Structure 1
Amino acid sequence: MQPNNNNAERNPADRLLKMPGRRDRGPVNFKTRIAGNEGEIMAIATRSVVTAQQTTPIIQAVEIMTREGFRRLPVVDAGTHRLRGIVTVGDIINFMGGGDKFNLVQVKHGGNFLAAINEGLREIMTPQLVTMPVTGSIADAVDVIINRNIGGIPIVNGEEDLKGIVTERDVLRVLTTENSTRKVEDVMRASVRVTNPNASIESVCKEMVKCRFRRLPVVADDVLCGIVTATDIMTYLGKGKVFERLTTGDSAEVMGTPVRSLLSGELHTTTPDRNIHEIAVDMIRRRVGALPVIEDAHLVGLVTEYDLVKAFSEE
């Protein structure tokens, strides 16, 4: 029997996608896809997905996401495992004061944050979401990430039962199996919104929701002192630090805290001249979603997982 030398060809997670027309294909209409045998997307997806139900209290979901290091938590029916929605770190930031979901605190509970966080997830989850079928390809996931700017895609079967989830980071791992000649300065975002250390958590939440950002560099006197992410703000709630500051339970006590209190001592950065393959591997290893770009001690840009997925898909 001859040895099989085609294993690399059979493992979709070990090769970069090279297929004509994958650029600018526009959003994929998955509703026309008939769910049958598993596609290559399942080779890189997480199959054992931690989930919640619509009745799960918001604070419990936040604690799960904080403990597990998740940016998103699918919401399913307890009996059927049918996907009903998803709660993301963006939804949590919106609820904490960034957007219209803050009405749950201000209007329904008269500003009582403690009462609001014990409401069920159905109050803040995103019910209409983009999914992929189990028959999907990695190229389909790239299209969704780039064209719809969605960082985590639930995977369902024909009955809409949740079968897995694939993220930007999962896709980036595949794309980094090939090298690139491009540098950070070729793909980074040069126009970067920043905040200052004394800005309130509420103002940062509003900025993130309005601009659909997950992170903001924190700058004082033209010097980068850190980066605050939506996950940092959620962790502030999930690890119970919020409750140490509460005396009346009012949301103003929670959201008036300066953002400097959320900054950690560890700050990873990069420079404009580094190769994007090198920093992609570094980001995956460190489990960070973005790196501030520093030149001559000044912040000149930001490079994110999204930027890297887009750049590698164009190679």
Structure 2
Amino acid sequence: MKDKSSILRKSIKMGSVEHETKVSNKEGEIMAIASKDVISIPPTKSIKDTAKVMMEHEFRRLPIADPGSGKVLGIVTVMDILDFFGGGKKFNIIEKKYEDNFLAAINEPIREIMTRDVICLSDKSSIKDTIETMLSNQIGAIPLVDANDKLAGIVTERDIVLSLAGVLTEEVAQDYMSTKVFTTTPGTPIESACKIMVRNGLRRIPIVGGEADISKASKKLLGIVTSTDIIRYFNAKELFDNLNSNAASEVLKNIVSNIMAEDPITVSQTERIGDICALFAEKNIGGVPVTKDSEIIGIITEKDILNAIKTL
């Protein structure tokens, strides 16, 4: 059986990611792959401005910290934003509190939709413990705190996966990919796409269709839409310039074909996991459809790769 921590340490030393290879006695090994220059935001920042920060820095989550003490108060993820935009219960802020006034609702403070019960780990934590905590709690990032509970760093699924680029050479996609793939069609409204993502905990949905034969259309891959694509759409200046009203219903009626990535990057079922990690790093993506003869047969994401590490 392979030692998961040794695999990660080996990958760090190989230089697959630009991280420190020597960790001081005051820090755990997790700090060698964690981001130390953490961007956090105060709980008073608006939802609109939070989404802007996410897009500017290409983050999928942001810690919410007290400006004075630096202590973690919460975390906001792209899924929280999608929930607010129509995917779940947080949409009530737009629908009920603001009576469908989208422009007013997006100026609410981020504390209204942030996740408050944040799982944090010590900056002395091991890589193994961090992976197990992520998988057991189904979370994609963990803030790291020092002895004074002050935010010291953040580690994400991506940090771990990128450190494995080129390392896992025996394992292949078909052994770890998800074969239950949630898909939708090009004419799906963005609001419905948000619902699919939030209800099923998805960050991306393959778009299928384009065939007269329904059985084939349900498998033919046309594109992919991610949670980041949706937030980028809501954050676009052109959206606000072209609105005829403040109604959320107008914003949400647009369809996914207008924001999806066409000709998405795919891998075969025999692609090596280490090469997929390298692909994620090169293309700055967190998941890819697995195809065979132009039809989608699965999807593999950063979380699937963490599960691959767990089973080694």
Same fold (TM over 0.5): yes
Whether the 8 Å contact between 2:169 and 2:272 is mirrored in structure 1 is yes
Task: Select the residue among 153, 157, 170 that pairs with 1:164.
Answer: 153
The residue number in structure 2 matching 1:126 is 115
The residue number in structure 1 matching 2:80 is 91
The SS at the match of 1:74 is strand
The residue number in structure 2 matching 1:196 is 185
Task: Find out whether 1:153 has 2:142 as its counterpart.
Answer: yes
Alignment of 1:251-290 (within 5 A): 251-265=248-262, 267-290=264-287
Q: Percent identity?
A: 37
In 1, Cα distance between the equivalents of 2:31 and 2:166? 18
RMSD: 1.8
Q: How far did residue 37 of structure 1 move?
A: 2.7
The residue number in structure 1 matching 2:19 is none
Deviations 1:246-275 (A, max 9, x none): 211100011111011111345211111211
Whether the 8 Å contact between 1:13 and 1:44 is mirrored in structure 2 is no
The residue number in structure 2 matching 1:305 is 302
Deviations 1:162-186 (A, max 9, x none): 1100010111133446333121111
Alignment of 1:44-123 (within 5 A): 44-123=33-112
The SS at the match of 1:179 is coil
In 1, Cα distance between the equivalents of 2:298 and 2:228? 20
In 1, Cα distance between the equivalents of 2:301 and 2:128? 19
**Closer/same/farther in 2, CA of residues 12 and 190 from structure 1, 3 Å limit:** closer
In 2, Cα distance between the equivalents of 1:13 and 1:46? 16
Whether the 8 Å contact between 1:12 and 1:43 is mirrored in structure 2 is no
Task: Find out whether 1:186 has 2:175 as its counterpart.
Answer: yes
The SS at the match of 2:261 is coil
Whether the 8 Å contact between 1:95 and 1:101 is mirrored in structure 2 is yes
The SS at the match of 2:155 is strand
The residue number in structure 1 matching 2:9 is 14
Whether the 8 Å contact between 1:175 and 1:309 is mirrored in structure 2 is no
The SS at the match of 1:270 is coil
Whether the 8 Å contact between 1:270 and 1:294 is mirrored in structure 2 is yes
The gaps in structure 1 that reach 5 residues or longer are 1-10, 18-35
The residue number in structure 2 matching 1:208 is 197
* Structure 1 letter corresponding to 2:9: D
In 2, Cα distance between the equivalents of 1:299 and 1:230? 20
Task: Find out whether 1:248 has 2:245 as its counterpart.
Answer: yes
In 2, Cα distance between the equivalents of 1:43 and 1:241? 40
Task: Select the residue among 150, 163, 170 that pairs with 1:174.
Answer: 163
Deviations 1:61-87 (A, max 9, x none): 100101110000111111111111011
Task: Select the residue among 115, 138, 142 that pairs with 2:131.
Answer: 142
The residue number in structure 1 matching 2:22 is none
The gaps in structure 2 that reach 5 residues or longer are 1-5, 13-24, 212-216
In 1, Cα distance between the equivalents of 2:133 and 2:176? 19
In 1, Cα distance between the equivalents of 2:189 and 2:297? 24
Whether the 8 Å contact between 2:162 and 2:280 is mirrored in structure 1 is no
In 2, Cα distance between the equivalents of 1:295 and 1:207? 25
Whether the 8 Å contact between 1:184 and 1:303 is mirrored in structure 2 is yes
The residue number in structure 2 matching 1:24 is none
In 2, Cα distance between the equivalents of 1:245 and 1:205? 22
Deviations 1:256-309 (A, max 9, x none): 110111113452111112111111211122111101111011111101011112
In 1, Cα distance between the equivalents of 2:250 and 2:242? 7
Deviations 1:102-137 (A, max 9, x none): 111111111100000011111111111111111101
Moved more, 217-226 or 237-246: 237-246
